Amino acid sequence: MTRALFVLACVLVAFAAEARADEIEGEVLLILPKLKRKGPQPSSQPASSQPASTQVVYLPATLPIYTQAPPPEEVRLRDRGFHIGLKAQGFAQSGPLRGGPGGALEIGYRFPMIGRRLGLMLEPSFTGLWGSDSARASIGWWLAIPLGLTYHEPAGPGLFRISAAASLDLVSSDTTLADGPVHDQFLTVGAAAGIGYVIAAGPGGLILELRYRLLAYVVAGTQNVGHGGTFSLGYSFFL
C-alpha cells in the first residue's frame, strides 16, 4: 500500500514537472478597448514594432557596469578596502624641539560593513626635529607609530575623513648647552586625532590631513611630554 502511494506520488510529481515545462514564456501585451470614433486609434503594438526608445538593451544584470562606463570617482573611492599611502608632512610644536619636515607611510583598511566608512589605520612616520633659543640648540628625530580608526564620509567628489589613534613614539635629540652637548632619548605613549580629505586622482587618491598630536605619557627617558600639529599631503594607492 505504501509502495503504491509512493509510486503514485512520483507519477504526480513527474506530471507536475511536465506541466511546468509547458509554461509559455512572454509578456501579455496591452490590449486597449476600441475607440468608437474615426481616425487613428491608439492600440497595443507588438513588441517588434515598438519605437526605438522603448527597446530593451541586452545586458546581463550581473555584469559589472563599469565594463561599459567608468563608475563615478566617489564610488571608486568608496569601494576600495585596502590602501597604502605615502605622505610628506610638517610638524610644529612649542618647546626647544620646534619641529620639522617628515614622511609617513599609511596602511589602512576600511571594513566592508556600513559602506566601508569605518577603517583601521597604521601610520608609521618619521619626523626631523630642530630648535634653538638663547640657551641651547637642539636637533633630533621622532619616530611615531599610531594605530587607530578612521571614518570616511562621502562629501563632494571625495571623502571627508576623521582619524583617531593611540601612538607609540620614540624621540631622540642632541642638545648643545653652554656646558656641553646632551644626548637624550625617550619613549612615550601618545594620541593623535585628525581631519582630512581624500580626492580621487590616478590609480588612487590625494590625501590632505591636519592632525593634532599629543605625547602624553613618558614610558622611558627624561624629556617633557608635549603636543603639536602636523600638516600632511600624500598619495594613497587603492588595492
Of 53, 178, 179, 220, the residue at the interface with other proteins (CB under 8 A) is: 53
Could you say which residues in the range 1-30 bind other proteins, by CB under 8 A? 23-30
158, burial (CB in 10 Å: exposed 0-12, middle 13-18, buried 19+): buried
Of 81, 82, 92, 115, the residue at the interface with other proteins (CB under 8 A) is: 115
206, burial (CB in 10 Å: exposed 0-12, middle 13-18, buried 19+): middle
Candidates 58-66, 90-98, 170-178, 219-227: pick the segment binding other proteins (CB under 8 A). Answer: 58-66
Residues found in the chain = 239
Q: Which is nearer to other proteins, 74 or 184 (CB)?
A: 74
Nearest one of 122, 227, 233, 223 to 182, comparing CA atoms: 223
- x/- track of binding to other proteins for residues 62-81 (CB under 8 A): xx-xxxxxxxx--x--x---
Could you say which residues in the range 166-225 bind other proteins, by CB under 8 A? 201-204
CB of 196 to other proteins, least distance (A): 18
CB of 154 to other proteins, least distance (A): 8
Nearest one of 95, 209, 195, 107 to 142, comparing CA atoms: 95
Residue 36 engages other proteins in binding (rule: CB under 8 A): yes
Q: How far apart are CA 228 and CA 1, in angstroms?
A: 89
Please, are residues 102 and 128 in contact by the beta-carbon 8 Å criterion? Answer: yes
CB of 234 to other proteins, least distance (A): 9
